[in-house]
């Protein structure tokens, strides 16, 4: 079934390059924001309310762990130690929260997907025979080694390695050492746009959130 991925990745549920098809999945809160639009300019000095736990439900576009880590690095570089101390406290609080940790792991998965880096993808996935992946149109791939081998095939079949994929309408639930995310994947390739739904399951292994299950399925009627 792994060999099917070359065909699947190149032809997955793609639509014509029509601007009218680029709108996100409807959301009662308004247009979905991408990561480069999410970070408020005042994030480094925002009130402590922004460190509240991320509840289950739609991601509310507050800064992610990755965003705050970047701001912290900038504050340290600029020797703004007051801001750096505040950011460290916010990062510590966010990392203690299960839902926030799962959202961060989910984001790292899509960063690895876009980069085409097999090393980054390896860092995302957990270990164990229970690790599973279902690419669009493929059978279940079980066990961490075979799952990672499938991603090597995926990346080798895409010109440039990575794929322009964005996760929208992200919903998260986490409790204890397990969490899951559901989302809509929007894929932009040289031949058109594709829309998929995805379920990503994460497990805390060795103190870090790792992906243990990914299931993406192409859809025709979801824009």
Q: What is the DSSP track for 124-193?
A: HB--STT-EEE-TT---EESHHHHHHHHHHHHHHSTTS--EEEEEEEEEEEETTEEEEEEEEEEEETTEE
More confident site: 23 or 192:
192
Phi, psi of 23 (to 5 degrees): -70, 145
Q: How far apart are CA 212 and CA 214, in angstroms?
A: 7
Q: Is the pLDDT of residue 50 over 60?
A: no
Q: For residue 46, what pLDDT band results from cuts at 50, 70 and 90? A: very low
Distance CA 63, CA 103 (A): 11
Q: Using CA of residue 199, residue 116, residue 17, residue 26, what is the dihedral sign? A: positive
What pLDDT, in 10s, does the model give residues 182-199? Answer: 999 998 876 667 899 999
Confidence category of residue 221, pLDDT binned at 50, 70, 90: low
Q: What does the pLDDT read at residue 10?
A: 40
In whole angstroms, give the CA distance from residue 108 to residue 89.
22
Greatest alpha-carbon span in the chain: 54
pLDDT at 44 over 90: no
Are the CB atoms for 85 and 72 separated by under 8 Å?
no
Averaged pLDDT, 2-23: 43
Instruction: Report pLDDT for 36.
Output: 40
Which range (14-18, 38-42, 73-77, 153-157) has the least confidence? Answer: 38-42
What is the rounded CA–CA span in Å between residue 15 and residue 106? 25
Whether residue 142 has pLDDT greater than 60: yes
Interval 146-181: pLDDT, tens: 999 999 999 998 887 778 899 999 999 998 899 999
Verdict on whether the full-model pTM lies above 0.85: no
Is 136 in contact with 173 (CB distance < 8 Å)?
no
Question: Is residue 30 predicted with pLDDT exceeding 60?
Answer: no
pLDDT of residue 159: 80
Cα atoms in the Cβ-side hemisphere of radius 13 Å centred on 108: 21
Nearest to 147, CA basis, from 165, 167, 121:
121
Query: What is residue 38's predicted lDDT score, i.e. its pLDDT?
Result: 39
Mean of pLDDT values over 12-39? 38
How far is Cα 72 from Cα 44, in angstroms, rounded to an integer? 8
Mean pLDDT for the chain overall: 76
């Amino acid at each position: 079934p792994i060999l099917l991925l070359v065909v699947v990745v190149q032809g997955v549920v793609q639509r014509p390059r029509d601007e009218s098809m680029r709108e996100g999945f409807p959301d009662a809160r308004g247009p979905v924001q991408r990561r480069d639009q999410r970070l408020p300019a005042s994030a480094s000095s925002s009130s402590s309310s922004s460190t509240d736990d991320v509840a289950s439900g739609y991601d509310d576009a507050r800064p992610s762990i990755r965003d705050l880590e970047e701001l912290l690095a900038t504050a340290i570089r600029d020797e703004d130690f007051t801001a750096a101390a505040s950011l460290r406290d916010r990062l510590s609080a966010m990392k203690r929260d299960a839902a926030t940790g799962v959202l961060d792991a989910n984001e790292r998965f899509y960063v690895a997907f876009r980069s085409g880096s097999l090393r980054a993808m390896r860092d995302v996935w957990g270990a164990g025979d229970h690790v599973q992946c279902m690419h669009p149109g493929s059978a279940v791939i079980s066990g961490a080694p075979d799952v990672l081998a499938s991603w090597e095939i995926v990346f080798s079949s895409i010109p440039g390695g990575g794929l322009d994929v964005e996760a929208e309408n992200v919903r998260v639930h986490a409790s204890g050492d397990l969490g899951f995310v559901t989302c809509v994947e929007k894929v932009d390739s040289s031949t058109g746009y594709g829309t998929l739904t995805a379920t990503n399951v994460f497990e805390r292994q060795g103190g870090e959130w790792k992906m243990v299950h990914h299931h993406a399925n192409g859809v025709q009627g979801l824009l």
